Amino acid sequence: MTSRRSPFDPGAHGLDANFQLTSYSDLKDFGAKVPQDELLKLLQTIKEPDGEKTAEEMVLQQPEYGIGNDCSIVPLQHGGLFLVQSTDFSYPVLDDPYIMGKIACADVLSDLYAMGIIECDNMLMLLAVPQTFSDKEREIVIPLIMQGFKDAASLAGTKIRGGQTVLNPWCTVGGIATSVCTPDKIVSPDNAVTGDVLVLTKPLGTMIALTARKWLSVPDKKKKLNALLTAEELERGYQEAVFNMCRLNSDAASLMATYNAHGATDVSGFGILGHAEALARCQKEEVSFAIHNLPIIAKMQHVAKGFIDFKLYQGRSPEISGGLLIAFPREQAASYCKEMDRRGFSAWIIGIVEKGNRTAKVIDKPRVIEVITKIL
């Protein structure tokens, strides 16, 4: 599927040997998100009051989604078309600028994919260049980030046609993804029913793998890590995290309608439980989600147990450019997972949809599925 990528060598690019992209943001790892309950309160400020549907919406029977969902989905004034749009950005989570660009692009596109949209008509790139970059760092690092973003967009079959680049105390990279489509191309996120099951399409533990790699340069934490995992296991975990973060969710999205998906979201900074809660809140039926299984990058569960910084088993460990969490009818979920496997990817049934009050939980002592990605 892909080859392991050699560690980024700043010197080979004409940079100082000690250059680290991650040093240009204090907000990384676990501190980059506004707490979810606070965010929900803030969003009420700009949320429009519910009103009557337009005649076009009633004819198309397609609800309008916006604040609090992965994408805004808005009926256009002409032609029975809908505008599907989302924006996202990330702080550097690793030191390779090219890979960071790819990850950021994949993360932006995932919001479209969560709605079953696999064709992106346009992307804009949003880039904040650190004020403290030297001229040389700016000339070398920024084009690498942009090239990674562009290459990921090309894999998605779309192009970058604009954006915004500014100076900022910290480095950020992200963008806006836009699609115009007919309503039959949209998989509504709110149709889960009792008896459905939950499927996840990428393993958890990405942030743990990245953080463990960084901790190898911290003597006391390196000693503790070495007691938990071998150097090879740590490197393998890092490589698997990079591979999965760069991988687009397009294949997972392309099969959602085929297997009658009842709703989905992508998994990122709020962890598997945070995003499950957001998806549960928007359901039309009175249901709740219960997560029983946690597919985790191999050995990362040992790192999570060995340090108090992670909340992996509680479903709160942040993910970067994670997979899709999808509700399927039980009888079709297994077929979906088999088809994903046939295409060279994995997907796991991780939980159930049951009658409830639109909440989500990870059960006590969830089952860990140790995942080894097929990296050639």
- pLDDT tens for each residue of 288-317: 999 999 999 999 999 998 886 789 999 999
Q: Shortest CA distance to 203 belongs to which of 94, 101, 297, 300?
A: 297
The string of pLDDT tens digits covering residues 233-254 is 999 999 999 999 999 999 999 9
Are 259 and 336 contacting, i.e. CB atoms less than 8 angstroms apart? yes
Are 129 and 142 contacting, i.e. CB atoms less than 8 angstroms apart? yes
User: What is the reported pLDDT for 36?
Assistant: 53
Structure token digits, residue 150: 């562009």
Place of tokens 């439980």: 273
Examine the pLDDT at 106 and tell me if it is beyond 90.
yes
Place of tokens 């489509």: 181
Confidence of residue 53 (pLDDT cuts 50, 70, 90): very low
Q: Shortest CA distance to 127 belongs to which of 107, 158, 149?
A: 149
User: What is the reported pLDDT for 77?
Assistant: 85
Examine the pLDDT at 5 and tell me if it is beyond 80.
no
More confident position, 58 or 293 = 293
Q: Name the helix (H) or strand (E) containing 368.
A: strand 360-371
Residues 309 and 214: their CA atoms lie apart, in Å, by 14
Are 44 and 77 contacting, i.e. CB atoms less than 8 angstroms apart? no
Confidence of residue 58 (pLDDT cuts 50, 70, 90): very low
The string of pLDDT tens digits covering residues 125-183 is 999 999 999 999 999 999 999 999 999 999 999 999 999 999 999 999 999 999 999 99
Structure token digits, residue 90: 């990330």
Examine the pLDDT at 87 and tell me if it is beyond 90.
yes
**Strand residue runs (E) in 65-105:** 72-75, 82-90
